[in-house]
């Protein structure tokens, strides 16, 4: 038994990731930003989809950059790509969280592109460049209105002159100037005014850099919502995250299918129990749900330790695929650490049926339960889980536990594409 099949044997749930959807979604996003280079954002283990398969697929599908938040994941990704035989110059990786005292020398040896928001980061990176003899590739980050990372316009002249000195000393090469939009998914007047202000401040920041003699080749500002809804913010490169995974950055504005995007991940698990409970029987901790009648209930082996948000208790949707066709139903009672219960509908005469195959049960042990996936298959959307749990689809996929085995399909197209 190979490593993969034993993982599935020991752990019944799986997240099936369709890599052809990743490739197709990048092509769809390309239509919205045809002139910009694409960066595939693969932070947080590719939003839970698995960093290496997604990164490889994205590179084959035409993305020419990869982006991650953490330095550690950038290093892991670089070494994995090396192992896979991907030349470093064919797979530039930008990492943007810059903790003081990070191992910048290792970052330079790994040929990572580094974001620089502050002079102290620049000083640390320059020290590493001296030590290793490797020129650092940097992207100067401007705070255009999110107050997260980035140099404010007030601080930028000092940073720009430090960058210029470092460049003139041969310690750094300035590859990019960049920022991030905070309300590009918001179609209200206020949202649009915010994005216009970001663009304005970004332009002002680029002017300050230019006055210091710094004219980076790559200006980049837009993530998925900027790609879809703000062509004025595309610049030279765009950074595709959620849309590449086939989810909408704001499904109240447009659903994934409205946008022509296909969710790449299907989360599924087999039923581990199907049984009858009597009317008015409490289910799960705290008895927050009681059966409104004699009822069939099913048990699903996934819980909050797997990243199934407990806020999805009493309502998050599932699709059960049975011999007699699919059943759309939902969680009843609270999500437990490793399991949750679903309603399978009213039961008539049969009492005390054993778990297992029974004639009258609406579903059988082993039937596949889909938590979310591609709505074209009847599966609930991650967005439905998000609204049930009071969050966004990003959190639904990104929080999925590492222990859920990922199964990759749809790689055939990739082989066709790589000649
Ligand atoms: C997460 C992130 C992205 C991608 O955002 P999406 O909305 O998922 O497309 C792009 N840039 C930065 C800086 C990010 O943190």
* Residue 251, CA distances (Å) to 141, 236, 257, 381 in order: 29, 27, 10, 10
Residue 241 CB less than 6 A away from ligand 1: yes
pLDDT at residue 360 in the model? 84
Does residue 9 carry a pLDDT above 80?
no
Does residue 133 carry a pLDDT above 70?
yes
Residue 223 CB less than 6 A away from ligand 1: yes
Give the tens place of pLDDT for each residue, 33-51. Answer: 999 999 999 999 999 999 9
Alpha carbon 409 to its chain centroid, in Å, reads: 18
- State the span(s) of the chain assigned CATH 3.20.20.10: 19-245
- Summarize the confidence of residues 340-359 as an average pLDDT: 73
Structure tokens at 264: 């790449």
CATH of domain 19-245: 3.20.20.10
**What is residue 340's three-state secondary structure?**
strand
Our answer to whether residue 79 is catalytic in this structure is no
pLDDT at residue 8 in the model? 65
- State the span(s) of the chain assigned CATH 2.40.37.10: 265-408
How does residue 5 score in pLDDT terms, banded at 50, 70 and 90?
low
Residue among 142, 138, 141 at smallest CA distance from 171: 138
Which residue has its alpha carbon closest to ligand 1 atom 15? 69
**What is residue 342's three-state secondary structure?**
strand
Asked whether 415 and 263 are in contact (CB, 8 A), the reply is no
As assigned by CATH, the class of the 265-408 domain is mainly beta
The CA distance from 338 to 321, in Å, is 21
- Summarize the confidence of residues 50-70 as an average pLDDT: 98
The CA distance from 120 to 212, in Å, is 18
- Summarize the confidence of residues 352-377 as an average pLDDT: 83
- Measured in angstroms, how far is the CA atom of residue 67 from the centroid of ligand 1? 9
- Measured in angstroms, how far is the CA atom of residue 4 from the centroid of ligand 1? 31
């Amino acid at each position: 038994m190979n490593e993969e099949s034993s993982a599935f044997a020991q752990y019944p749930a799986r997240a099936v990731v369709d890599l052809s959807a990743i490739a197709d979604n990048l092509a769809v996003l390309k239509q919205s930003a045809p002139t910009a280079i694409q960066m595939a954002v693969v932070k947080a283990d590719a939003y839970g989809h698995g960093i290496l398969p997604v990164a490889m697929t994205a590179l084959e599908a035409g993305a020419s950059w990869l982006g991650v938040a953490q330095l550690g994941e950038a290093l892991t990704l670089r070494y994995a790509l090396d192992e896979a035989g991907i030349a470093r110059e064919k797979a530039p990786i930008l990492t943007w969280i810059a903790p003081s005292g990070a191992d910048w020398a290792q970052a330079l040896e790994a040929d990572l592109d580094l974001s620089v928001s502050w002079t102290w980061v620049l000083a640390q990176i320059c020290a590493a460049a001296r030590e290793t003899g490797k020129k650092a590739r940097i992207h100067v980050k401007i705070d255009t209105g999110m107050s997260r990372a980035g140099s404010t316009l007030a601080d930028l002249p000092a940073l720009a002159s430090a960058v210029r000195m470092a460049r003139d000393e041969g310690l750094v090469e300035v590859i990019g100037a960049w920022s991030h939009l905070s309300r590009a998914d918001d179609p209200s007047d206020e949202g649009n005014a915010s994005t216009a202000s970001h663009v304005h401040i970004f332009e002002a920041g680029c002017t300050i850099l230019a006055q210091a003699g710094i004219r980076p080749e790559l200006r980049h500002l837009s993530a998925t919502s900027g790609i879809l809804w703000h062509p004025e913010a595309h610049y030279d490169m765009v950074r595709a995250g959620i849309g590449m995974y086939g989810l909408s950055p704001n499904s109240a504005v447009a659903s994934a299918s409205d946008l022509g995007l296909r969710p790449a991940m299907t989360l599924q698990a087999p039923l581990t129990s199907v049984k009858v409970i009597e009317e008015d029987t409490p289910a799960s901790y705290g008895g927050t749900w009681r059966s409104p009648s004699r009822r069939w209930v099913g048990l699903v082996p996934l819980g909050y330790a797997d990243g199934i948000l407990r806020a999805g208790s009493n309502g998050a949707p599932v699709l059960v695929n049975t011999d007699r066709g699919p059943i759309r139903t939902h969680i009843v009672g609270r999500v437990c650490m490793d399991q949750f219960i679903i309603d399978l509908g009213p039961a008539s005469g049969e009492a005390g049926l054993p778990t297992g195959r029974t004639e009258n049960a609406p579903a059988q042990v082993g039937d596949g339960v889909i938590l979310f996936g591609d709505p074209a298959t009847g599966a609930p959307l991650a967005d439905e889980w998000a609204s049930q749990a009071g969050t966004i689809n990003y959190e639904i996929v990104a929080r999925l536990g590492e222990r859920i085995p990922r199964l990759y399909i749809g790689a055939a197209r990739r082989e066709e594409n790589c000649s």
